[in-house]
Each structure stands twice: as structure tokens, then as C-alpha cells.
Amino acid sequence: MSLRLGDIAPDFTADTTQGKINFHEWLGDSWGMLFSHPADFTPVCTTELGKTALLKGDFERRGVKTIAVSVDDLESHNKWIPDIEEVNGVTMNFPIIADEDRKVAELYDMIHPNASAKATVRSVFIIGPDKTIKLMLTYPASTGRNFTELLRVIDSLQLTANHSVATPADWKDGDDAIVVPTISTEDAIKKFPKGVKEVKPYLRYTPQPNK
């Protein structure tokens, strides 16, 4: 059965480039980003893994652990890592799962047979500290992901998890947020001391409450 938002992220034990891990134990109380790669020694993946390593500080500031999965074995991953490091001028600083038996790829439905019978698509799962899936994205193998967008969406997920707000189109950290429709404007004025601007009775903005 395919996964849906709110489902518990399936747990697994796997070999990675940083040793054997149990996924839920490895996550601990952190947020997590599990993202798949069609194969080792492929050009787009080489840029994506390097970018993730370069952004380690940005993920850490948000309390997010990153972990990649590719359906190749550990020996292949370990041979590929020097290329990733050289091309991107970075030291690899997060694990890549060796998924040669496709256990993780199948658990997370990362192989879409009409796209490719063997390789995974570019899936992204953002997982909350409660181990539930907060966001899923699927890109084809030919399109590298936008890491500015991944960080932006994590900011929105973390804001909206803790405050009664949603985020509008193209929102980014620091912009005004939208008061959720379940709160009346009268209650919103009490709840959001920085102010509430009513554009429509159902569209109310408030300055970002966690800033």
C-alpha cells in the first residue's frame, strides 16, 4: 500500500556509508529527510549529494538529519564518495543507504515501474520527530531537486506544526503567515499579539509568530 501524509515512516535496518543503522533509532527526536537517488555514479545525483553536504549547517539549524538512499551496494557508494567530494568541494557528512536488495526503495514506493523498472525516482520524505511523514515529493530522474525549496518547506512545516498558521504561496521564512481558517478573527486577535490583518473574512495574515 502506498504511503500517505501522516503515516508512520516505515522503519528499517540497513547498511550505510556511516555504518549499520536502525532508521527510527537513528532519527531519535530529530526531523529527518530521506531522499532517493536513481543510481551511483550518475551526474544529477552527484550534484544533489554534494549540495546536501554543503547545506549541512542549514539542515542542522532546523534540527533535520539527512539520509540518502541509492539501490547500489556499499562498495559502490564508497567508490563514488570521492567523486562527490571532489566535484562539489565538500566532505560527505551524512549517510547513504546501501539498498541493493531495494528493501527501502520498496518500503517507500520509490520505484515507479512506468518511469524505470529498476532505478528509483527522486523521492523526498520529510519526517517529523513523531516519526510521521510530513511531506512527500516525487521528481523524475532527469530533474535535480531544488534545495532552497526543501529548506523553505521545512521552515513552513516546522512553523505550522507549532502555531495555528498556514503559509501562503511562495512564503519564505520571515514573511507573514496566514491564520488557519478554524480560528475566528476575534480569537486570532487575542492569539496573535503582533496583529492580524483581515483581507477577507477567511484570509487573515499575521506576522510570523515564531520570529
Residues marked as catalytic: 45
**C-beta of residue 55 within 8 angstroms of C-beta of residue 88:** no
The size of the interface with ligand BEZ (CB under 6 A), counted in residues, is 7
Closest by Cα among 64, 58, 74, 66 to 17: 74
Check binding of 142 to ligand BEZ (CB under 6 A). yes
Q: Is residue 38 near ligand BEZ by the rule CB under 6 A? A: yes
Binding residue for ligand BEZ, selected from 43, 57, 174, 201, defined by CB under 6 A: 43
φ, ψ of residue 60 to 5 degrees: the values are -65, -40
Length of the chain in terms of residues written: 211
> CA 200, CA 202: separation in Å to the nearest integer?
5
Distance linking the first and last C-alpha atoms of the chain: 40
Give the angle 76-79-85 at the CA atoms, nearest 5°: 125
CB of 59 to ligand BEZ, least distance (A): 21
Draw the binding track, 145-184, toward ligand BEZ (x: CB under 6 A; -: no contact): ----------------------------------------
Of 3, 12, 21, 44, the one binding ligand BEZ (CB under 6 A) is: 44
| Interface contacts to ligand BEZ, rule CB under 6 A | 38, 42-45, 141-142
